[in-house]
Amino acid sequence: MLSSALPITVNTESGEVRSHVSAEELAGVVARLGGEGDRFAVVERIERAAADAEGGQDHYIQTWHEDGGPYEVEYREGTAERHFGVRMESAGEVTAVFVAWARGEEGWADGYAWEQVRFPEEEGEDAAEPDPELLAEAEAEAGRLIRCGFGTAEEITEAVSDHFHADGATPLSVPAARRIVRRLWRERLAEQEGWPEVTDADRVAEAFAALNGSGVTARMHFACCGNCAFTEIGGEAAEGDHGFVFFYHDDTRHAADGGGLLLTYGAHEDEGDQKEASAAVGQEVVAALTAAGLSSKWDGDPDRAIRVEPLEWRRRLPAA
What are the b/e assignments for 35-67, b being 16+ CB within 10 Å? eeebbbbbbbbeebbeebeeeebbbbbbbbbee
Across the chain, mean pLDDT equals 88
- Parallel/antiparallel/unpaired status of strands 306-308 and 296-297: antiparallel
Can you give the residue range of the structural domain that contains 234? 200-308
What digits encode the pLDDT tens for the residues 187-205? 888 888 889 999 999 999 9
Asked whether residue 12 falls in the same domain as residue 107, the answer is yes
Asked whether residue 27 falls in the same domain as residue 88, the answer is yes
Task: Confirm whether 168 is domain-assigned.
Answer: yes
User: What is the reported pLDDT for 56?
Assistant: 54
Asked whether residue 71 falls in the same domain as residue 31, the answer is yes
Task: Confirm whether 278 is domain-assigned.
Answer: yes
- Parallel/antiparallel/unpaired status of strands 216-219 and 261-267: unpaired
Cα distance between residue 297 and residue 308, in whole Å: 6
Task: Confirm whether 124 is domain-assigned.
Answer: no
What digits encode the pLDDT tens for the residues 295-307? 999 999 999 999 9
Among the candidates 192, 211, 242, a domain finishes at 192
Residue 117: CB atoms within 10 A of its CB come to 15
Task: Confirm whether 81 is domain-assigned.
Answer: yes
Task: Confirm whether 256 is domain-assigned.
Answer: yes
319: confidence class by pLDDT, cuts 50, 70, 90: low
User: What is the reported pLDDT for 2?
Assistant: 39
pLDDT at 3 over 50: no
Residue 163: CB atoms within 10 A of its CB come to 15
Among the candidates 118, 145, 173, a domain finishes at 118
Classify 9 as helix, strand or coil. Answer: strand
Task: Confirm whether 126 is domain-assigned.
Answer: no
Closest C-alpha to 313, from 237, 212, 204, 218: 204
- pTM for the full predicted model: 0.69
Task: Confirm whether 317 is domain-assigned.
Answer: no
Mean pLDDT along residues 61-82: 90
Asked whether residue 169 falls in the same domain as residue 247, the answer is no
Asked whether residue 86 falls in the same domain as residue 139, the answer is no
Cα distance between residue 52 and residue 55, in whole Å: 5
Please report, as a single letter, which amino acid is at residue 9: T
User: What is the reported pLDDT for 55?
Assistant: 52
Please give the distance of CA 136 from its chain centroid, rounded to a whole number.
Answer: 20
Asked if 62 contacts 73 with a C-beta cutoff of 8 angstroms, the reply is yes
Asked whether residue 204 falls in the same domain as residue 188, the answer is no
Number of folded domains in the chain? 3
Asked whether residue 28 falls in the same domain as residue 100, the answer is yes
What digits encode the pLDDT tens for the residues 110-141? 999 999 887 654 444 445 567 888 889 999 99
Asked whether residue 83 falls in the same domain as residue 180, the answer is no
Asked whether residue 216 falls in the same domain as residue 172, the answer is no
What digits encode the pLDDT tens for the residues 89-111? 999 999 999 999 999 999 999 99
Task: Confirm whether 314 is domain-assigned.
Answer: no
Cα distance between residue 79 and residue 77, in whole Å: 6
- Parallel/antiparallel/unpaired status of strands 115-116 and 83-88: antiparallel
Classify 304 as helix, strand or coil. Answer: coil
Asked whether residue 6 falls in the same domain as residue 111, the answer is yes
Asked whether residue 176 falls in the same domain as residue 204, the answer is no
What digits encode the pLDDT tens for the residues 214-254? 999 999 999 999 899 999 999 999 999 999 999 999 999 99
pLDDT at 147 over 90: yes
Among the candidates 68, 94, 118, a domain finishes at 118
What digits encode the pLDDT tens for the residues 33-56? 998 888 889 998 887 544 544 455
Asked whether residue 186 falls in the same domain as residue 205, the answer is no
